[in-house]
Amino acid sequence: MERRRPPQTEEGWYVLHDFRSIDWDAWRAAPERRRERAIEEGVDYLEASEAVGDADEGDSATFAVLGHKADLLVLHLRPTLGDIDALERRFEHTALAEFTERADSYVSVTEVSGYMSEDYFDEDSEVEDAGLERYIESRLKPEIPDGEFLSFYPMSKRRGPDHNWYELPFDERADYLSNHGEIGKDYAGRVTQIITGSVGLDDFEWGVTLFGDDPTDVKDLLYEMRFDPSSSRFAEFGRFLSARRFPPEDLGTFLAGERVPAEGEESHPHASGDAEGHHGGSGGHHHGDDSGSSHGDESGGVRDELEDEGIYAGQPHGEDVHAVVLYSTADPDELFEEVDGYRENFDHYDTHVKTAVYEAQDADSETAVVSLWDTDRAANTAAGFLAELPEVVRQAGDDEDDSWGTMGMFYTVEPEHRGDFVGTFDDVGDVLADMDGHRKTDLLVNREDENDMFIASRWDSRDDAMTFFRSDAFSETVEFGRDILADRPRHVFLA
């Protein structure tokens, strides 16, 4: 009898969906001092969990559950089951726990499988697609998305007499999943998912957690997927639970029966800034002015240094929009078609400023995808989707430790002076070629607007780049640009 080949899997962080019901009769009957203590200790627990002070990596979030199935959901992701177990016990020691009962829970672990990339599991093969590597890392160590609405459900693959998933050949299963995934791409920027494995850990085989700002986007996605054979023939579902995210400091507001998050507040307590902090890996995007990335004190020090030299270096960190910049070796036409599909979905959001494809003038150089957003949160979400673009080789800011990058964006050239600008770039390129520490400089042009360009350079070190910025050639270029550019350029620094 033939035994079907199971896909290999690699596991990442463990996940606990902890659903709690409030004993509202006990809450109303409790004296004020007990309620105040419960709120205080509850907020401390939830804030400490979301700050991940208990582990080296991970994430947590707090939700108000809709409907009768529970009242609270605390979602935890941690590197080990021991971390998860300690969080459960720690909650039971809070005064808030005295007013709750566990309504439900689900234990699982993040995973990637051979359906995604068999080369990833082949010891003799190297995964050369940097975009795929980042995507796999994001699946194993995901950041909880910032969408206000959450939908969670467990599922298994059917093993019936007519349709048995586990009797199908590997290639056929892979095709089903690939086609299923194509549906999700139409919801890029609107719905984000965390899929976790739970074979042997809980009652079903997987847990699916979907996040979005508009609940109807989640509904539409799930409805459309019902018609895909991967679901219609082979999926068995558990019950669905829906919830809304709120910051821990709103716990008292929640228990008082008032709206959470409080009117006018962000639903995510980290939305205003520290997107990296406690998470594993990079935050997936870079802050700065409306042109790209700026890395904290490092960038600020460079800006100050340039200002002392009388050189304009853009707005300080965080005062303008947020950006993600990725580089791909894919065919520019194919890449543009993929990006255009994402852009149609991004345009549903008021926070979306611009997403464009920039082609290098050197045919051997990479094509850049730039996506600009009004908020840190939106840029981070977009970065997760754009990382799935074909043949992504790197993301600005995630470069090698032995090099340093600068990016000048956006140079909006007066149409009648475009030839002058390109000619000057060529002249400066000749100067750069002779400079110590210079590796490469590319001029990239927006394929939809030839007058919109940026310049990206790689250097051996920051000091090498600063030598150029102090040079007469750079000063003359800046002075020349004032006469031919429609807007003031910004010089953005990537660590």
DSSP SS3 for 4: coil
**Per-residue pLDDT at 488:** 58
**Per-residue pLDDT at 407:** 64
pLDDT tens by residue, the chain, 495 residues: 567 777 788 899 999 999 999 999 999 999 999 999 999 999 999 999 999 999 999 999 999 999 999 999 999 999 999 999 999 999 999 999 999 999 999 999 999 887 665 555 555 555 555 556 676 788 899 999 988 999 999 999 999 988 999 999 888 988 888 888 888 888 888 899 999 999 999 999 999 999 999 999 999 999 999 999 999 999 999 999 999 999 999 999 999 999 988 655 544 444 333 333 333 332 332 222 333 333 333 444 555 665 565 554 544 433 456 778 888 999 999 999 999 888 887 887 778 888 999 998 777 788 999 888 877 667 777 887 888 888 888 776 555 556 777 666 557 788 888 888 788 778 777 788 888 888 888 888 999 998 888 888 888 888 888 888 777 777 766 666 666 666 655 544 432
Q: Would the CA dihedral through 307, 312, 313, 317 be positive or negative?
A: positive
Q: Are 457 and 405 in contact (CB under 8 A)?
A: yes
Supply the pTM of this predicted model.
0.62
- DSSP for 149-210? EEEEEEEEE-B-SS-BGGGS-HHHHHHHHHHHHHHHHTTTTT-EEEEEE-TTTSSSSEEEEE
Task: State the catalytic residue, choosing from 45, 153, 176, 342.
Answer: 153
Neighbours of 85 (CB within 10 A): 14
CA distance 121 to 277: 30
CA dihedral 211, 215, 220, 226 (to 10 degrees): 60
Neighbours of 172 (CB within 10 A): 11
Query: What's the burial of 266, exposed, middle or buried (CB within 10 Å: 0-12/13-18/19+)?
Result: middle
Query: What's the burial of 93, exposed, middle or buried (CB within 10 Å: 0-12/13-18/19+)?
Result: exposed
| Residue 391 DSSP label | T
Q: Are 370 and 211 in contact (CB under 8 A)?
A: no
358 in active site: no
Question: Which domains are seen in the chain, by residue range?
Answer: 9-255 (3.30.70.1030), 296-494 (3.30.70.100)
Q: Are 401 and 472 in contact (CB under 8 A)?
A: no
**Per-residue pLDDT at 400:** 55
CA distance 11 to 197: 8
Query: Residue 417: what residue type?
Result: H
**Per-residue pLDDT at 363:** 76
Nearest to 15 by CA among 74, 68, 96, 94: 74
| Residue 44 DSSP label | H
**Per-residue pLDDT at 308:** 62
Query: Residue 302: what residue type?
Result: V
DSSP SS3 for 2: coil
**Per-residue pLDDT at 227:** 93
